[in-house]
Structure 1
Amino acid sequence: MSEPADLSTEARVLLVSTLVGSRLDHDLGHRLHHMEHDGTVETVRLETRDMTRRRLRVVTDRGTACLIALPRSEQLFDGAILLLEPGRAIVVRALEQAWLRLRPASLPDALQLGYAAGNLHWKVRFDAGDVEVALEAPRQAYLDRVRDLISEGRVAVVGAVD
């Protein structure tokens, strides 16, 4: 006769079947900011290549075991919120920062892109006239925010930066 399975470990695993949202969302980001000051935010650090996985086991920086099982309609990203409850949050962070490179067509376009990036609180850096945006949400979310500048030919998507 076999020994009964030890369910105590499995009972402490947090199942994540959907994402709460992005840390860049104004309201969610505001809540996380205050929680970070209180020391109640846990972090899951993932390799960039693991962001495309829908099912994986991870452990937060504070030892919370999580089983992530997302539907096909959702994907992990840097800044994804896995859990947000009173007194506790779990956020995904990429080990390597991914960057989106945007090239303004002119100085006025650069000013408009910079103004938009500032208002959206994007983390940016500059390289040879290009604006590199730190991807802390899905890439498409950033492109959607500057869609008009791109469609008008005022900003070109140069690509990703390693």
Structure 2
Amino acid sequence: MQLITSLIGKADEPALHRELHRLEHAGKLEWLVLPRNDLARRRLRAATDKGSEIAIALPRDTALYDKAVLLLNRDRAVVLRVEAEEWLGLQPRDPAAALALGYHAGNLHWRVRFEGARLMVALEGPVESYVERVLGFIEDGRVRVVEPERQRGGG
């Protein structure tokens, strides 16, 4: 098992990118795919896409992020990839509905982003549980549900 105690950098930094590209063509680049919720963790164990066991034990002041290079040497590299994230779009009917929906989402401590007048809610569980929490808004016509979307993790 490989122990990771620090991060090397971000995969798209020019010097790292060149070396990762070389290792990828040689079949020696591995991806460690984690859910977004695991980015806050400092200690965890997981397996790469090629089955290598990785143990991460980072200092408190170091955070994981998408495309973090965890391991890089002449013969092998491991890069972190954040799983694609699903978002549920909620389209309020008018400004009053938008204010009420925003207040409600805040009270539920939902992680959100805005796309124009649309409130996008990060799905950290089944979509049905989120819809159920705003069912009153939907039933009285103040909010319309927009299909969930998937987005690659950023960082």
What is the TM-score of this pair, normalised by structure 2?
Answer: 0.55
Gaps of at least 5 residues in structure 2 are: 87-114, 117-150
2:41 to 53, 63, 73: 53
Q: Which is strand-richer, 1 or 2? A: 2
Gaps of at least 5 residues in structure 1 are: 1-12, 99-126, 138-162
2:73 to 79, 85, 101: 85
Distance 2:25 2:40 in 1: 30
Note if 1:28 corresponds to 2:16.
Answer: yes
Distance 1:72 1:21 in 2: 17
Please give the root-mean-square deviation of Cα atoms over the aligned residues, in Å. Answer: 2.3
Distance 1:27 1:60 in 2: 23
Partner of 2:50: 62
Note if 1:44 corresponds to 2:18.
Answer: no
1:87-138 residue CA offsets vs partner (Å, 9 max, x unmatched): 100010011159xxxxxxxxxxxxxxxxxxxxxxxxxxxx88xxxx96543x
SS of residue in 2 equivalent to 1:63: coil
1:94 to 57, 75, 82: 82
1:39-75 residue CA offsets vs partner (Å, 9 max, x unmatched): 1101110001101111000111111111100001211
The AA in structure 1 aligned to 2:51 is G
Query: Matched residues, percent identical?
Result: 38
The AA in structure 1 aligned to 2:83 is L
Residue 34 of structure 1 deviates from its aligned partner by: 1.7
Q: Is the Cα contact below 8 Å between 2:66 and 2:82 reproduced in 1?
A: yes
The AA in structure 2 aligned to 1:63 is G
Q: Is the Cα contact below 8 Å between 2:28 and 2:75 reproduced in 1?
A: yes
Q: How many residues align?
A: 94
Runs of 4+ in 1 over 3 A off after TM superposition: 133-137
Q: Is the Cα contact below 8 Å between 1:24 and 1:136 reproduced in 2?
A: no
The AA in structure 2 aligned to 1:78 is D
Q: Is the Cα contact below 8 Å between 1:18 and 1:82 reproduced in 2?
A: yes
- 1:136 to 1:85, Cα distance in 2 relative to 1, 3 A: farther
Distance 1:25 1:74 in 2: 18
